[in-house]
Structure 1
C-alpha cells in the first residue's frame, strides 16, 4: 500500500511538472507570436521620440540607433529635442484635456522621476509593456537594483522600459587642483577659500535640482524622511540645513550666486576656460567624451564624494494616445538590446551604464562589455563607490519651488 502511494505521488508530481513545462512553452509561444505581430504592425511606422537634446554625443547616439532601427525593422525614428522633459508631459496632458485620445504628437519619451509620476498619476501612459519586450525578459534582472522597479519611489509596474543608469560625478583639472573637495561641507570650505570658483546648475535644470538633493542628503539629519512623500513630513525642518548652507555658499560662488550655469555642458566650458574649479554631471563618461572632442584638457579627471553620490535609472515610456505603439515598442526593445547597450556604454559615444544584467548575458556578450575602453577620465564601478537613492519624486518640485522663492533673480 505504501509503495502504491509513493508511486502515485511520483506520477502526480511528474504530471504537474509536465503541465508546468507545457504551460511555460505555451506562454513562450504566445509571447513570441505576440512579438511577431508587433514587428509586423510596426513596419512603416514613424516614431516621434521626445528626448532631452542638450548633448551632441547623445543626439548622435540616437541618430545611430535610428539608422539601425530603420535598416532592421523598417521603423523611422525621429528625435524631438527637448530642453525640459516636462514640456512633453504637459503636451500629452493638454492633448488628453482636449480629447485627443489617439494619434498623439508624442510616441516615446525619455523620462524618470517626477515626470514619470506625473504621467502615471494622470493616466497618460500606455502599458504595462516592458515585460513584453524580448530584450527585457532575456537580459534585465529586476532584483539587481531597486531603481529598476521603483522610479524615485514610484512603482514602475511595467509602464516604462529601463534605458540606462546614471550617477552624479564631479570633474576637476588636476593641473590646477590636485585635491578637490569630496563632500558638500568640503565644497563650501573650498568656496570660502577660493571665492568665485564653485557653482552648480540653476534649478529646475535637472542636474541643479540633483545638486540640491545631494546637499540635502549630506546635511539633513533626517535622511530617512526623504524616501517619504514631501507632504507627509516637516519640509521646513528637514530642509533648514540646506538653505543655511546655500546662504553661505552663494556669496562666495561663481558670479556671487547672482547667476548660475544652465547645464553640465556650460559647467564644463567654464572648467575648460578656468573660470571654475569643479564641474558636475550625471554622465560618468562626460569628461572622457569632452576630452576626446577637444573640449577639455586631458588633465581633467572625474571623482565622486567620499560618502557617495545620487544615482538613478532612466527610462522610456509610451504615451497612452500614441498612434504607433507597436513602433514605439520596437524602438524601446532595440535600445534595450545588447548591441545598443554596448554602443551606449562606450565612453567616447555616451558612456552611460547599462541596465542589462551581466549574469544574464552570454559569454560572448560579456566579453564585449569587458572589452569596452574605459575612457581617460571615466570611473569604473568600484571607483563610483556608494550610490545614494533618489528621494521620493515629490521632493523635486518642492525643492525647486523653495529654491526659486529664495534665490531666483
Structure 2
C-alpha cells in the first residue's frame, strides 16, 4: 500500500501550490536526523514513537531519534541556553512534545518556528476552526506554532472487585475518604498529575462566575481557591499516611492501587488502565471513572524550536503523526490506546472503517464514556496552585 504521505506529496486533494511546497519539504528532509524531545516515562509511548520512526525512515529517509525526557522543561531549558549563547540556528532540539506552561514560555520568548501547521498536508483532517481544542493550549492560542498529535483526559481508576465507583464529584470525595480512611491519595503536586488533581477540584469548586481562562492575580486567586482549600483541609486527614506524604507520580500511585494500599489511581490517559492490565501491572477488574460533570482534557502538541537544525524533517514527522493510518494505530489499545485528534467528519470511508474496527476491552472507555471536556485553566493557575499547596501543607 502506498504511504498516505507519498500520495499527498503527489497532490492528492491538495492545491498545486501546497503540493509543490510540500514536495520541497520532503526533498529537504531526506537524509535528516530529527531529534524528537519527548517524555520517555511510558514504554508503550516510547515503542509507538519508535514505530513511527521506522515508517519515517522507510518512506522518507528521515531518521527519528527519541530523546527521552523526564521533564519537558529540560528541553525548553536547552533551547533557552542555546539562544542565550547566540545559537540561532543549528540547535540540538528539532521537535518537542509540548504543552501548557512550557508552550507559553517558549511562545512569549519567541523561541518557536512557525506558524507551520496549516502547511502540513494532513492538517486537512483537523478541526482548526476558532475555539476547537486544536487551536488553544491551556487557553493560550496556538496560532499554528504547535501541531496536535493525541488527546489527553484526566480520569480516575479503581478496582471494581474491591469498591463501587468513586464519588460522582470532587465535593463528594471528602465524605467518601472519611468512610474509607487512608485509602485515598494523590501524587505530589510538584508532579503535573498532582497539580491536575487540584485543578480538577478547583474547576468544580470555584465560585460561580470564576473565569479560569484568565491569568490569576493575588485577589482572583484568593477568591477562586478559598473553597478549594476548605475542601482540601477537610480531605487531608483522611488521606493515605494521614496526608503527610504523597506518591511521587502516577506510576507510583498505580503501584499502590495494584498492591491494594489505596483504592484510587489517576491518569491523563484514559487508556492507561487497559494498557496496565495488558502489561500485568493492574488486575483485570480495574475500571475508569470520570466525574459526572466531566474532567480536564487537552490536546498534546508537538512544536519546532526556532533554532532547530532539521526543520524540514521535523515537519515531516509532525505530518506523519497526523496520518489517519498512524492515528488509528495509535488509538488501537494493542499498540498505545491514545485517542486520536482527527475530526471524524473529515475522514474518508476507509479511515472511518479503520477506526470503527479498533478492538476494545472492558477497562477502555469510549469517548462517550468520558463525558464533557473541562477546559484547562490558564497556565498561571497551575503555578500558583503548586506554590500555595506547598506553602500550606509542606512547611
TM-score scaled to structure 1, two decimals?
A: 0.90
Partner residue in 2 for 1:157: 143
What is the alpha-carbon distance in structure 1 between the residues aligned to residue 209 and residue 76 of structure 2? Answer: 29
Summarize the Cα distance change of 1:337–1:145 in structure 2 as closer, same or farther, 3 Å threshold.
Answer: farther
SS in 1 for 2:320: helix
1:379-399, CA deviations, whole angstroms, 9 ceiling, x for partnerless residues? Answer: 112111111111112211111
8 A Cα contact 2:297 2:376, kept in partner? yes
CA distance in 2, matches of 1:97, 1:220: 40
- The unaligned stretches of length 5 or more in structure 2 are 1-11
**Match of residue 217 from structure 2:** 231
CA 1:112 to 1:87, structure 2 compared with 1: closer, same or farther past 3 Å? same
Please show how residues 14-163 of structure 1 align to structure 2 within 5 Å. 28-136=15-123, 138-143=124-129, 146-163=132-149
Q: Go from structure 1 to structure 2 and tell me whether the alpha carbon gap of 1:348 and 1:200 turns closer, same or farther (over 3 Å shift).
A: farther
How far apart are 1:105 and its partner, in Å?
1.4
Task: Indicate the SS of the match to 2:334.
Answer: coil
Post-superposition CA distance 1:66-89 (Å, at most 9, x none): 111111111111111111111211
Matched, 1:198 2:184: yes
What's the CA shift for 1:334?
0.3
User: Offset of 1:199 from its aligned partner?
Assistant: 0.9
CA-CA distance at 1:223 after TM superposition: 5.2
Q: Tell me the CA shift for residue 49 of structure 1.
A: 0.8
Q: Tell me the distance in 1 between the aligned counterparts of 2:112 and 2:190.
A: 24
Tell me the secondary structure at the aligned position of residue 217 of structure 2: helix
2: CA distance, partners of 1:192 / 1:41: 61
Question: Which structure dedicates a bigger proportion of its chain to helix?
Answer: 1
Give distance in 1, aligned partners of 2:183 and 2:200: 19
Contact 1:288 1:348 in 2 (8 A): no
Q: Which runs of 5+ in 1 are unaligned?
A: 1-24
| 1:234 alignment partner, SS class | helix
Instruction: Tell me if 1:342 matches 2:331.
Output: no
Deviations 1:285-311 (A, max 9, x none): 111101111111111111111111111
Q: Which residue of 2 aligns with 1:4?
A: none
Asked if the contact 2:165–2:289 (Cα under 8 Å) also holds between the matched residues in 1, the reply is no
Alignment of 1:176-325 (within 5 A): 176-222=162-208, 224-231=210-217, 234-325=220-311
State the shift of 1:408 in Å: 3.4
Shift of 1:222: 4.1
Cα distance change on mapping 1:94 and 1:258 into 2, 3 Å: same
Residues 121-130 or 29-38, more deviating: 29-38
**Distance of 2:393 and 2:16 partners within structure 1:** 58
Q: TM-score, normalised by structure 2?
A: 0.93
Q: Number of aligned pairs?
A: 383
- Residue 118 of structure 1 deviates from its aligned partner by 0.7
- Decide which moves more: 390-399 or 322-331: 390-399
Shift of 1:229: 1.3
Tell me the CA shift for residue 253 of structure 1.
0.8
- What is the CA RMSD across the aligned residues, in angstroms? 1.6
State the 1:114 CA deviation.
Answer: 1.1
**Separation in 1 of the partners of 2:93 and 2:388?**
31
Query: Cα distance, 1:185 vs. partner?
Result: 1.6
Q: Is the 8 A contact 1:285 1:375 kept in 2?
A: no
Specify the alignment match of 2:353 in structure 1.
367
